Amino acid sequence: MMDRLRKIFAGIMAALIKPIAPYAERANDALAPLREQLRVRYQKLEPRERTLLKVAGIVFTVFIAYNLIYSPLMNWRDSIDTTIETRQHEIGNVQHLVDTYLLRKKQLHDAEKNTVPIGKDFSLFSVIEKSLTTTVGHDKIASITPGADRKLSDGFIQYNVELKLQNVSLAQIVDALYGVKTLTAPVAVSDMHITRRLQDPHTYDVEMTCIALAKSA
């Protein structure tokens, strides 16, 4: 780091000195007599006075070097570090957005694979009714009602069917759920309520909602 700062400082000094080099030579010639007078006076000083003068010169040099060279360079370095940190933070945010986009894209792709055909050839009502008739029997179906189709984001449509089963055993409930789960069309149970019957504690009434997603063209 220090080598880098030295190189930067040397480059800055070279760039600053080059335009004023001719003027510096003239100033050096003009100040030569004054420097000679100062040297003579310095030689006439006592050793203690020379020491004090050297100490004052060192302190003054350090003060000038700190305020005109070191401090500006440190401020410049801190500014660069801050800029780098800001850029790294921005890059991190962009990467997070990219990862989120790729995740949503995968989720959308998975959702599109788990959709039913859209159109008149598919009826969630008929599919559910046929499955329940097979698993628990038509006499156990108290009601089955198609719900209103819901338009979701990204061009999806959700089909809904609300149904009630009556006087079914736990085994029949399991069979009904398994029948819905294993349908060739991807159908899911979104809501379900089971109530024990007062007349027979081993039988139940069931209310549930089945849904299926379709991708609109």
Q: pLDDT (tens digit, 9 = 90+) per residue, 183-208?
A: 877 888 888 999 998 888 889 999 99
Return the CATH number of the domain spanning residue range 124-215.
3.30.70.60
The confidence score (pLDDT) of residue 162 equals 93
The confidence score (pLDDT) of residue 120 equals 58
Report the helix count and the strand count for the chain, using DSSP H and E: 5, 5
Alpha-carbon dihedral sign for residues 43, 45, 49, 53: negative
The confidence score (pLDDT) of residue 122 equals 74
Mean pLDDT computed over 83-92: 81
The confidence score (pLDDT) of residue 24 equals 61
Contact 135, 165 (CB under 8 A): no
Q: Any idea which of 118-132, 139-153, 183-197 has the lowest mean pLDDT?
A: 118-132
Length of the chain (residues): 217
Check whether 10 has a pLDDT greater than 90: no
The confidence score (pLDDT) of residue 144 equals 92
Mean pLDDT computed over 97-118: 64
Q: What is the pTM of this model?
A: 0.47
The confidence score (pLDDT) of residue 139 equals 92
Contact 187, 210 (CB under 8 A): yes
188/184 Cα distance (integer angstroms): 12
Q: What is the pLDDT confidence band of residue 7, given thresholds at 50, 70 and 90?
A: low
124/184 Cα distance (integer angstroms): 12
The confidence score (pLDDT) of residue 121 equals 64
The confidence score (pLDDT) of residue 166 equals 93
Check whether 1 has a pLDDT greater than 60: no
Arithmetic mean of pLDDT over the chain: 76
Question: Which among 145, 205, 147 has a CA at the least distance from the CA of 176?
Answer: 205
| Domain edges within the chain | 2-91, 124-215
**Which is more confidently placed, 14 or 1?**
14
DSSP state of 147: P
128/101 Cα distance (integer angstroms): 35
Mean pLDDT computed over 208-215: 84
The confidence score (pLDDT) of residue 172 equals 92
